[in-house]
Chain A
Amino acid sequence: MTATTPALTGAALALGDDALVLSHRLGEWAGHAPVLEEEVALANIALDLLGQARVLLSLAGDEDELAFLREERAFRNVQLVEQPNGDFARTIARQLYFSTYQRLLYGRLAAAGESPLSGLAAKAVKEVAYHQDHAEQWTLRLGDGTAESHDRMRAGCEALWRFTGELFRPVEGVDVDWAELEADWLASVTGVLERATLTLPEGPRTGAWRAGAGRQGLHTEPFGRMLAEMQHLHRSHPGATW
């Protein structure tokens, strides 16, 4: 099953790359999580995302060619998902921002129906609802936990804030009301942060190297290093099957 129009291929790549890259970052936590239950949870979320990525990339072409043989400039993921894990709070902040976005987006795509993306969205929305709940619960625990966890959660939310504007730049082939999506996202994130005794970060969410840059293949420096690790083995054995 391959996407039939260039717009759909582009959309599948953009959303597929988001899921692929975030899954990879979460996979880096394996063996390093603060508590055993989080080893399970983070790997679970990573697996869900990898599953979504595989479906989406297969709409656009061969999943392994796309994952392992494209260079940095050809990836279409938003810059948010490629950000390094940092401490647990930063990982949770990234997860809160992104899973809220994914849930709102997939919810709309699933409801719209009749699009090649709606089948995936219908399945994925159940997974991302769980991811969002996980991120929200941890935002509450860390924000409203100890003084140290509060400070770390605030720092994580602030550091990643500037990457959130890009989430709402329209993606061709994804037919949703992006302004409305952004308004809903802001309302949801604001509500969670307030309950967590935190405030919505201030500062710009748009700019030449932020809004839409990742979708155009302009990424941040850590991303190339991430790809080097991810692609090294596959590229070392051209044409091999695994």
Chain B
Amino acid sequence: MTVPTAPTAPTAPTAPTASPAATAGPAGARETPEAVFDAAVAADERIEPRDWMPEAYRASLVRQIAQHAHSEIIGMQPEANWITRAPSLRRKAILMAKVQDEAGHGLYLYSAAETLGVSRDELLDKLHTGRQKYSSIFNYPTLTWADVGAIGWLVDGAAITNQVPLCRCSYGPYARAMVRICKEESFHQRQGYEALLALSRGTPEQHAMAQDAVDRWWWPSLMMFGPPDDESSHSAQSMAWKIKRHSNDELRRRFVDICVPQAEALGLTLPDPELRWNEERGHYDFGAIDWAEFREVLKGDGPCNEQRITQRRRAHEDGAWVREAAAAHAAKHGEATR
């Protein structure tokens, strides 16, 4: 399980020669690694693990990919909360498959992060000690079965809106992980929508359950896109590096535009009295997000922050003897077969 740690700093200024951009400079001028990197990014080429990259680019990617991986892992909890209570065997199978996919997404993403010279153990340790974050959305509780549908529709919907552009991210391993993840996520999103539709068209109690869930998950889903553009500290640099392709507010607007007709088709309302079509802009106008709540949740004071991280830590600590056993067994039998 231990991964050889690649040097986090370039050991020698070995500029990549494979990149066509490397030869595109002014004749005779020896190009610096920075220039090669900048040219590759400008030409929409993929940066790969062995390529030189600015330390800040590496650090920014580690932060983002790790946070993404942690979100998949913590995100298993609110949904797993309903596995043992799912109301039909079909829904139970769908939910189990989804939670399993999330563990798999976590694995892809930790692997992508490891290509940048960090180890999964190191990143998990940072999650467990609160030095790295996960998506604020998973600090909200799943109080009814309908929450499982609302998460599929809104939370996965927001995630997809955020992640589809990441399939074109400048860092190759991350972009490729996102291609695989987005395919599965859109499947989950359709299933969530379909579960919510069944509730909306079901008994009055089921319809009310669906509406209540949408009422509770709508605003937190909009917060998933992050702070407004004028307060987003990492955005400008991430966009210059083509890690990010669109601003937070732009993606949020896109998401609202997609959701409004879907809510209508579901026969459910969105809890925003200011939501209305703006002919002039060609977008929906919507009400103000409660950024104070967002900051509170990010700071660790959301409804489930403590519970989520405690469960994650406990699973890790309770499993320590299992991981030690696997390592001891491998060491014994590795030696025996040599």
| A residues neighboring B (CB under 8 Å) | 20, 24, 27-28, 30-40, 43-44, 46-47, 50-51, 53-54, 57, 63-64, 67-68, 87-88, 140-142, 144-146, 148-149, 152, 229-230, 232-234, 237, 239-242
Contacts and interface: CB of A to CB of B under 8 A. Distances in A.
Contacts of A27: 83-84, 92, 96
Nearest to B92: A50
Q: Which of B90, B198, B314, B321 has the most CB of A within 10 A?
A: B321
A90 to B, nearest CB: 12
Contacts of B86: 233
A223 to B, nearest CB: 13
B239 interface: no
A37 B206 CA distance: 36
B77 interface: yes
22 contacts: A30-B76, A32-B311, A33-B315, A33-B319, A36-B110, A36-B120, A39-B103, A43-B100, A47-B97, A47-B100, A53-B89, A57-B89, A88-B322, A141-B329, A142-B325, A148-B325, A149-B325, A230-B85, A232-B85, A241-B202, A242-B199, A242-B202
Given A36-B73, A229-B84, A54 B322 contact: no
Contacts of B314: 32
Contact of B323 (A32, A35, A68): A35
B87 A146 contact: no
Closest CB pairs A-B (n = 3) = A34-B319, A145-B325, A149-B325
B299 interface: no
Nearest to A24: B84
B328 A145 contact: yes
A92 to B, nearest CB: 9
A31 B203 contact: no
Interface in B303-338: 311, 314-316, 318-326, 328-330, 332-333
B76 A240 contact: no
B89 A63 contact: yes
Contacts of B93: 47, 50-51, 54
Interface string B88-125: 11111100110110011011001000000000100000
A20 B73 CA distance: 26
Given A30-B83, A241-B202, A36 B107 contact: yes
Interface of B: 1, 73, 76-77, 80, 83-93, 96-97, 99-100, 103-104, 106-107, 110, 120, 145, 195, 198-199, 202-203, 205-206, 311, 314-316, 318-326, 328-330, 332-333
Contact of B319 (A30, A35, A146, A242): A35
B107 A142 contact: no
A234 B202 CA distance: 13
Contact of A230 (B84, B91, B195, B330): B84
A34 B323 CA distance: 7
Q: Which secondary structure dominates chain B's binding surface?
A: helix
A151 to B, nearest CB: 10
B100 A44 contact: yes
A51 B84 CA distance: 16
B206 A240 contact: yes
Contacts of B90: 54, 242
B252 to A, nearest CB: 29
A48 to B, nearest CB: 10
A237 B205 contact: yes
A135 B332 CA distance: 20
A234 B87 contact: yes
Contact of B322 (A67, A149, A230, A232): A149
B318 A36 contact: no
B96 A47 contact: yes
Contacts of A54: 89-90, 93
Nearest to A32: B315
Nearest to A152: B321
Given A27-B83, A54-B89, A237-B205, A149 B321 contact: yes
Nearest to A51: B93
A34 B100 contact: no
B76 A31 contact: yes
A67 B89 contact: yes
A54 B86 CA distance: 14
A38 to B, nearest CB: 8
Contacts of B205: 237, 240
Given A31-B77, A31-B311, A33-B319, A229 B85 contact: yes
Contacts of B84: 24, 27-28, 229-230
Given A47-B96, A50-B89, A230-B84, A149 B324 contact: yes
